[in-house]
């Protein structure tokens, strides 16, 4: 019996019913309706095309129902026998898995794959196409190595420890301004989580090993999530020159803190430590934090208090989402509460409406109004409130120590305060030594070289990777005066082919030079001479480093030119001072208001130096 017959009999029945009703009762108005419907159906079914469509509709419905049943059954079986793990792009696990996948041998046989030069936040060349590592020259030229990865929307099967893993990489629209986000799905045929755990741990270990020489830097994004933004090579601690004892104090205290969790727990003391580094700009505050992060093997989470949209709640959330062992860094902590206050102590009074704040200098653009909605009490709560993360080390830096609220500086929030001053003669000497003694010789005795050096102290060293010694020496021999940034120097070497107007105007010095190979003793001797030329606590370490950079391969010239450079720096400082004297109100510099002893507190902060120095 086909569909037409079914409908005909159905319509026939309807007609019979309608007739019987008509014979017994008066015909109500609605009886016309079934008759109308049947005639419409009959009419419709008289078209063969419509009959066929109807058939297709029924068959399609049956097929879709079957498909859904099979899919549900498959889902059931998958859930029963497989484990499915999903990795989202903005999660660190995604990077671990991608690096793990990129090094999996399956890609050498895959017929369809994605080729990428992304390094998944690794500085090292952990992700490489096999064979590339055999060509170190190409690796050096381009730090971005090529790797193979699963292509988007393709399902792959790879084998791991005798088990089949299905890998699916997908890209979906997030709805945030057309942004697309990737997810990686890994399906393992296993009922136990053990296998997945092993895979994850291996991926994490591989990634960590590739990251060993780097530190990871995280910042918060606009939606308040931590995002990995960079990996930086670890900075050796010895490259930072501070007054004796400061590095040891900080490092020993931090190490001791990280090892003392049980001690804190037993006594019910919150397991947190805060360090406040204050003082002159360019004195090494940020550098020592970077270096300590490398030394302690911790990642750095930068909390920017002046970030647009940051309020008390979001700061609280950010801090509570920090991992247990990490360094939280708040740079220029004073800036969050003194918007518009510049390094020189000038500000736009229309922004702050603070009567103590001087008006802007002539021609100076007013600083933009901050959109941060953070309050001091919000910051204090975030630092040691109930939601504050345990185990974190907080580093805060400021150039304006006296501007900080005493509540912020108290032990428990900032346990150790360290002043960073302008360079001492000792620091100048050590910086010079670091500069001209190649790193591999900093730690080793070189008595042989000492002896050799006494005979010939001007032997040239290829230590700076020179390939063009002759060209370089011609520049260095004729121009030993450091160029000032405002007056670019013109190399006087004139080629017969160059007319006067063709002459190159170059500022700075070429680094393609050979540095004299100096012994430890010779460098120590020169370093003392350099320190003699540098006045005590007048120049910042950053400016000294900048000066030495112009003599990267010419230590003798650096010493010769140091007094002239100091004179220029003094003249510049004097000019700046007289310019700022014209400003109505002068905000006192933080460095003049603080005590000289590292660890001691200035009068504006809680005067509890002993508490600041006691580490459990
Ligand atoms: N004590 C130091 N030893 C070695 N290098 C230093 C030292 N101080 C500063 N420098 C160099 O000067 C530059 C600036 O240093 P850094 O950013 O650490 O200073 P800072 O005190 O944090 O400055 P700011 O207060 O302006 O942020 C860096 O390139 C660093 O190498």
Of 44-58, 384-398, 452-466, least confident by mean pLDDT is 452-466
CB hemisphere CA count around 542 (13 angstroms): 10
Residue nearest to atom 16 of ligand 1 (CA): 284
pLDDT at 164: 86
pLDDT exceeds 70 at position 239? yes
- For 168, the 3-state DSSP assignment is strand
Task: For the chain, give the percent of residues with pLDDT over 90.
Answer: 30
Q: Six-digit token pair at 167?
A: 């890998």
In the prediction, which pLDDT does 609 show? 34
Can you tell me the distance from the alpha carbon of 565 to that of 73, in angstroms, rounded to the nearest whole number?
81
Report the pLDDT averaged over residues 344-369. Answer: 41
| Integer Cα distance of 595 and 601 in angstroms | 7
pLDDT of residue 190: 83
Query: What is the distance in A from the centroid of ligand 1 to the CA of 111?
Result: 51
What one-character DSSP code corresponds to residue 223? T
pLDDT(356) > 70: no
Between CA 596 and CA 536 the distance in angstroms is: 14
Q: What is the pTM of this model?
A: 0.67
Task: Give the start-to-end residue ranges of the domains of the chain.
Answer: 3-78, 81-212, 226-359+367-421+599-613, 431-483+510-581
- The answer, yes or no, to whether any atom of ligand 1 lies below 6 A from the CB of 429, is no
Q: Is residue 186 lining ligand 1, measured as CB closer than 6 Å? A: no
pLDDT at 491: 38
Minimum-distance ligand 1 atom for the alpha carbon of 399:
25
285-296 and 246-258 helices cross at what angle (nearest 10)?
A: 40
Nearest-angstrom CA–CA distance, 463 and 476: 17
Strands 393-398 and 416-420: unpaired
pLDDT in tens, 377-421: 888 888 887 777 788 899 999 998 988 888 989 888 999 999 999
Report the range of poorest mean pLDDT among 146-150, 253-257, 267-271, 345-349: 345-349
Which of 287, 430, 548 gets mutated to test ligand 1 (max ligand atoms within 8 A of its CB)?
Answer: 287
Give the lowest-confidence range in 110-124, 149-163, 560-574: 110-124
Fold of 226-359+367-421+599-613: Rossmann fold (3.40.50)
Long-range Cβ contact pairs of 591-594 (< 8 A, separation 24 or more): 591/279, 591/280, 591/399, 591/401, 591/419, 591/421, 591/422, 593/401, 593/402, 594/278, 594/279, 594/401, 594/402, 594/419
Nearest CA to ligand 1 atom 17: 286
Check if 242 has its Cβ closer than 6 Å to any atom of ligand 1: yes
Please give the C-alpha separations between residue 292 and each of 235, 393, 502, 570, in angstroms, as whole numbers: 8, 11, 50, 33
The pLDDT of 86-112, averaged and rounded, is 84
Q: CB of 399 closer than 6 A to ligand 1?
A: yes
Average pLDDT over residues 498-504: 49
Cα–Cα distance list, 432 to 520, 555, 588 (Å): 12, 8, 32
Nearest alpha carbon to residue 172 among 186, 152, 150: 152
Tell me if 370 CB under 6 Å of ligand 1: no
Say yes or no: CB of residue 240 within 6 Å of ligand 1: yes
Closest alpha carbon to 416 in 569, 259, 611: 611
For ligand 1, say whether the CB of 542 is within 6 Å of any of its atoms. Answer: yes
What pLDDT score does 39 carry? 83
The interface predicted TM-score of the complex, written ipTM, equals 0.98
Verify whether ligand 1 is closer than 6 Å to residue 284 (CB atom). Answer: yes
Tokens 């400021």: give the residue.
398
pLDDT attached to residue 7: 54
pLDDT tier for residue 612 given thresholds of 50, 70 and 90: very low
Structure tokens, 15:
């007609």
Using only C-alpha atoms, the chain has a radius of gyration, in whole angstroms, of 37
What's the first-to-final CA gap in the chain, in angstroms?
Answer: 92
pLDDT at 486 (0 to 100): 38
pLDDT at 246: 93
Confidence of residue 144 (pLDDT cuts 50, 70, 90): low
Residue 592 predicted with pLDDT over 50: no
Average pLDDT over residues 83-109: 85
Q: What one-character DSSP code corresponds to residue 487?
A: B
Task: Tell me if 277 sits within 8 A of 389, measured CB to CB.
Answer: no
The lowest-confidence range among 48-57, 253-262, 281-290 is 48-57
Neighbours of 574 (CB within 10 A): 10
> What is the C-alpha to C-alpha distance for residues 248 and 243, in angstroms, rounded to an integer?
10
Q: What pLDDT sits at residue 5?
A: 63
């Amino acid at each position: 019996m086909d569909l037409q017959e079914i409908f005909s009999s159905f319509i026939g029945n309807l007609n019979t019913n309608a007739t019987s009703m008509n014979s017994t009762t008066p015909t109500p108005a609605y009886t016309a309706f079934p008759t109308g419907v049947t005639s419409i159906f009959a009419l419709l079914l008289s078209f063969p095309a419509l009959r066929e469509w109807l058939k297709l509709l029924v068959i399609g419905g049956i097929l879709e129902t079957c498909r859904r049943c099979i899919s549900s059954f498959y889902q059931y079986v998958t859930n029963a026998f497989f484990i499915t793990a999903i990795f989202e792009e903005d999660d660190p696990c995604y990077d671990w898995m991608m690096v793990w996948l990129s090094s999996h041998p399956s890609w050498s046989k895959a017929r369809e794959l994605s080729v990428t030069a992304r390094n998944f936040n690794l500085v090292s060349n952990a992700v490489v196409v096999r064979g590339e590592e055999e060509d170190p020259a190409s690796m050096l030229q381009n730090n971005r190595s090529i790797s193979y990865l699963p292509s988007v929307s393709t399902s792959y099967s790879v084998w791991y420890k005798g088990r089949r893993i299905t890998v699916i990489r997908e890209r979906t629209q997030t709805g945030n301004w057309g942004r697309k986000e990737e997810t990686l799905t890994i399906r393992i045929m296993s009922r136990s989580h053990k296998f997945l755990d092993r895979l994850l741990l291996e991926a994490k270990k591989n990634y960590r090993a590739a990251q060993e020489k780097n530190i990871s830097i995280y910042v918060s994004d606009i939606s308040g999530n931590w995002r990995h933004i960079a990996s930086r090579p670890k900075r050796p601690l010895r490259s930072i020159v501070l007054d004796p004892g400061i590095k040891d104090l900080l490092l020993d205290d931090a190490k001791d803190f990280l090892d003392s969790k049980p001690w804190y727990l037993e006594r019910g003391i919150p397991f947190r430590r805060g360090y406040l580094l204050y003082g002159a700009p360019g004195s090494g505050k940020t550098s020592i934090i970077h270096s300590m992060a490398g030394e302690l093997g911790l990642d750095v989470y930068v909390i920017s208090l002046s970030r647009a949209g940051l309020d008390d709640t979001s700061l609280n959330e950010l801090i509570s989402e920090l991992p247990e062992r990490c360094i939280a860094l708040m740079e220029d902590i004073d800036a969050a509460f003194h918007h518009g206050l510049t390094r020189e102590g000038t500000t736009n009074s229309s922004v702050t409406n603070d009567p103590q704040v001087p008006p802007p200098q002539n021609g100076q653009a007013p600083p933009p109004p901050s959109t941060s909605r953070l309050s001091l009490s919000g910051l204090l709560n975030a630092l040691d409130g109930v939601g504050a993360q345990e185990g974190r080390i907080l580093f805060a830096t400021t150039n304006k120590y006296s501007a900080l609220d005493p509540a912020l500086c108290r032990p428990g929030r900032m346990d150790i305060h360290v002043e960073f001053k302008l360079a001492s003669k000792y620091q100048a000497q050590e910086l010079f030594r670091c500069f001209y003694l190649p790193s591999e010789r900093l730690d080793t005795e070189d008595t042989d070289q000492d002896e050799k050096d006494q005979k010939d102290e001007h032997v040239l060293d290829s230590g700076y990777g020179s390939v063009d010694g002759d060209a370089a020496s011609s520049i260095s021999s004729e121009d030993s005066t450091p160029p000032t940034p405002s007056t670019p120097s013109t190399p006087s070497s004139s080629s017969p082919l160059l007319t006067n107007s063709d002459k190159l105007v170059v500022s700075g010095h070429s680094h393609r030079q050979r540095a004299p190979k100096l012994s430890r003793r010779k460098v120590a001797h020169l370093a003392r001479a350099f320190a003699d030329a540098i006045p005590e606590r007048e120049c910042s370490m950053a400016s000294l480093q900048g000066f030495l950079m112009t003599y990267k391969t010419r230590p003798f010239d650096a010493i010769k030119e140091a007094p002239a450079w100091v004179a220029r720096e003094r003249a510049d400082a004097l000019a700046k001072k007289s310019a700022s004297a014209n400003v109505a109100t002068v905000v006192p510099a933080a460095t003049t208001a603080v005590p000289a002893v590292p660890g001691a507190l200035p009068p504006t902060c809680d005067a509890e130096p002993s508490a600041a120095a006691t580490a459990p």
